[in-house]
């Protein structure tokens, strides 16, 4: 309820106490006005929250991918599912009507296909808080899973898992509950079919393919990774070229005071998560690697592990971000002055 309107109403009540008591009709009118203003403020907040939200689909789809703005998402959200939801905290047993985009239909419209590469039979879901979830493409077509935007006719907000939440039809398809009892992902921003081909943008003018990256000198860092999701907690080997060698191949020198900005797949809620800034001195002093492969067999990185490219740090590196960046897409250099200069 709007405290400003309600406070004004209570002030009127207090002032009236010296002269006359407001009627029940007046009290109801004041409360109704407060409720209307509260609902309008809430609606404006939800509209503002969702207005900048986007959904990206990447990987093994027609044209390599597609992007949808919120107005597109709303117009595409024509599927209704009535189901229980483990994240409907007021009553997890309540059957609620959800409206959203059927994932299978969206994938079919983009000619999504399984591929031979890493994670070729998987759909990876990336959320705004950094969560990564992996599903079998076959299961997305087996169940009418949706990206929900409304719950019981009310827009989903960040407090309720929105603006875009993965939802399973637990009531109509109980077998989906057996597979995904915890429910779907909150704050969905990206769907990746299989794994995207590597195309690393360096300095704004050069783009490196996987073949070009593999032709550069390779380094291996071994130790416990600093990735937030989907990596083992034990020691792991990560292989790929060093950032300084990639920059050298792009004819971009590094000098004292420069900053190396590594950009990753965008996340809608916190812009700061979209990039990691490193000191040139640190990049030159230790093995900061663009990881393309992992393990003894040097397997390519699937989307489920943040592939095709991640940023990994050798054990000798002192200044490491936490967590380490995944889904690395671009590297830029910002010129600066030497420290203390």
Cα separation, 190 vs 267, whole angstroms: 9
Question: Matching CATH topology for 53-193 and 199-334?
Answer: yes
Could you state, in order of their start, the residue ranges of all structural domains in the chain? Answer: 3-50, 53-193, 199-334
Instruction: Indicate the fold that domain 53-193 takes in CATH.
Output: Sulfite Oxidase; Chain A, domain 2 (3.90.420)
Q: Is the pLDDT of residue 16 over 50?
A: no
Q: Is the pLDDT of residue 39 over 60?
A: no
Cα separation, 242 vs 219, whole angstroms: 7
Cα separation, 305 vs 62, whole angstroms: 23
Percentage of the chain exceeding pLDDT 70? 84
Domain spanning 199-334, CATH architecture: Alpha-Beta Complex (3.90)
Q: Is the pLDDT of residue 33 over 80?
A: no
Assess whether the previous peptide bond of 163 is cis (omega < 30° from 0).
yes
With CA atoms as reference, report the closest residue to 288 among 332, 246, 333. Answer: 246
Q: Is the pLDDT of residue 174 over 80?
A: yes
pLDDT of residue 341: 41
264, two tokens: 């990753």
Cα separation, 254 vs 248, whole angstroms: 9
273, two tokens: 């998560």
Q: Is the pLDDT of residue 264 over 60?
A: yes
Q: Is the pLDDT of residue 260 over 70?
A: yes
What's the longest Cα–Cα distance across the chain?
A: 88
pLDDT of residue 340: 45
Specify the range with the lowest mean pLDDT, choosing from 19-33, 60-74, 195-209, 317-331. Answer: 19-33
- pTM of the predicted model as reported, rounded to 2 decimal places: 0.82
Per DSSP, 21 falls in state P
How does residue 47 score in pLDDT terms, banded at 50, 70 and 90?
Answer: low
pLDDT of residue 3: 46
Beta pairing class for 293-294 and 188-193 = unpaired
The three state secondary structure string of 279-290 is: EHHHHHHCCEEE
pLDDT of residue 38: 54
Cα separation, 35 vs 61, whole angstroms: 46
Assess whether the previous peptide bond of 54 is cis (omega < 30° from 0).
no
Positive or negative: CA dihedral 250, 256, 257, 263: positive
pLDDT of residue 36: 60
Highest mean pLDDT among 90-104, 279-293, 326-340: 279-293
Q: Is the pLDDT of residue 1 over 80?
A: no
DSSP 3-state of 40: helix
How does residue 321 score in pLDDT terms, banded at 50, 70 and 90?
Answer: very high
pLDDT of residue 230: 86
Judged on CB neighbours under 10 Å (0-12, 13-18, 19+), 181 is exposed
DSSP 3-state of 302: coil
């Amino acid at each position: 309820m709007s405290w400003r309107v309600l406070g004004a109403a209570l002030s009127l009540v207090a002032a009236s106490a010296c002269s006359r008591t407001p009627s029940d009709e007046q009290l109801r009118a004041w409360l109704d006005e407060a409720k209307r203003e509260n609902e309008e403020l809430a609606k404006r907040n939800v509209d503002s929250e969702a207005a900048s939200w986007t959904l990206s689909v990447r990987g093994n789809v027609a044209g390599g991918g597609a992007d949808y703005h919120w107005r597109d998402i709303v117009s595409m959200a024509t599927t209704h599912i009535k189901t229980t939801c483990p994240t409907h905290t007021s009553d997890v047993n309540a059957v609620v009507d959800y409206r959203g985009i059927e994932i299978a239909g969206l994938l079919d419209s983009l000619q999504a296909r399984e591929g031979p590469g890493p994670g070729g039979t998987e759909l990876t879901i990336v959320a705004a808080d950094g969560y990564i979830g992996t599903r079998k493409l076959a299961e997305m077509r087996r169940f009418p899973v949706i990206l929900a935007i409304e719950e019981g006719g009310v827009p989903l907000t960040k407090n309720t898992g929105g603006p875009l939440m993965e939802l399973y039809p637990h009531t109509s398809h109980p077998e989906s509950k057996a597979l995904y009892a915890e429910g779907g992902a909150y704050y969905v921003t990206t769907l990746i079919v299989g794994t995207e081909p590597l195309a690393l943008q360096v300095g704004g003018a050069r783009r490196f393919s996987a073949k070009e990256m593999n032709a550069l000198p390779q380094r291996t860092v071994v130790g416990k990774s600093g990735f937030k999701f989907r990596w083992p907690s034990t020691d792991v080997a990560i292989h790929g070229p060093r950032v300084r060698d990639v920059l050298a191949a792009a004819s971009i020198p590094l000098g004292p005071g420069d900053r190396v900005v590594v950009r990753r797949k965008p996340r809608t809620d916190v812009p700061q998560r979209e990039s990691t800034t490193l000191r040139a001195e640190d990049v030159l002093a230790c093995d900061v690697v663009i990881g393309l492969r992992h393990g003894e067999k040097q397997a390519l990185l699937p989307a489920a592990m943040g592939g095709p490219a991640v940023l990994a740090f050798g054990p000798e590196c002192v200044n490491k971000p936490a967590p380490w960046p995944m889904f690395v897409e671009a590297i830029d250099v910002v010129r600066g002055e030497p420290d203390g200069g």
